[in-house]
Amino acid sequence: MEIDQWRREYLLSGLRRSELKPTPLEQLRKWLSEAVEAGLADPNAMCLATVNTDGQPAQRIVLLKGVDERGFTFYTNLQSDKARDMAENPQVSLLFPWHSLERQIIVYGKVAPVSREQAKAYFQSRPLDSQLAAWASRQSQSLSSREELQHQFEQEKSRFAGKDVPLPEFWGGYCVVPSAVEFWQGGANRLHDRFIYRIHDNGSWAIERLSP
């Protein structure tokens, strides 16, 4: 079958205004809980979109590691391509692509760094090998081979043997502070349900249904 003939109907569910929580944080937590209950693989995986100084968008998957009234938190190398993009242009977008549930969530907002204390607390909660990998990887820089990366990892493993692994200066976290959040539920005949929350200056949220 040709690619242009690949299709399926979205029949799992619908989404009505009466079902929505008052804030996007509450609605995301509801959907996230349902994604976990459904056994969805990596329900906290989200696509982060940034734009560099040349206007070139880039996307990559990162993991949501915290969500609260302020926004959506993730951690990464502070010298990576995405970190450089966000330093120049803090406007970003997140996408949770929950295909098996026929759902997606899009977050629009501005990114801000989390404190070193918060980053340190999360870093120390990671498995030891993940801590060592953060030191070993110079994210987004060129590598000659897989062996070079493995060698860097083994060097860090030896350097910190029997010691607590400190938080690298080049590693930390970001919080995406949302200005709008869209919830999409697939519908039959491509008549999908889309609702977007937009924040007012006073901090309250307005909800609007969008045409699919």
| 190 marked among binding-site residues | yes
| 76 marked among binding-site residues | yes
Exactly one of 70, 190, 198, 209 is catalytic; name it: 190
| 122 marked among binding-site residues | yes
| 34 marked among binding-site residues | no
| 144 marked among binding-site residues | no
| 116 marked among binding-site residues | no
Is residue 103 annotated as a catalytic residue, yes or no? no
| 130 marked among binding-site residues | yes
Q: What is the 3 state secondary structure string of the chain?
A: CCHHHCCCCCCCCCCCHHHCCCCHHHHHHHHHHHHHHCCCCCCCEEEEEEECCCCCEEEEEEECCEECCCCEEEEEECCCHHHHHHHHCCEEEEEEEEHHHCEEEEEEEEEEECCHHHHHHHHHHCCHHHHHHHHHCCCCCCCCCHHHHHHHHHHHHHHCCCCCCCCCCCEEEEEEEEEEEEEEECCHHHCCEEEEEEECCCCCEEEEEECC
| 146 marked among binding-site residues | no
Catalytic site residues?
Answer: 190
Binding residue positions for substrate: 7-10, 65, 122, 126, 130, 190-192
Binding residue positions for FMN: 60-65, 75-76, 82, 104, 139-140, 184, 194
Binding residue positions: 7-10, 60-65, 75-76, 82, 104, 122, 126, 130, 139-140, 184, 190-192, 194
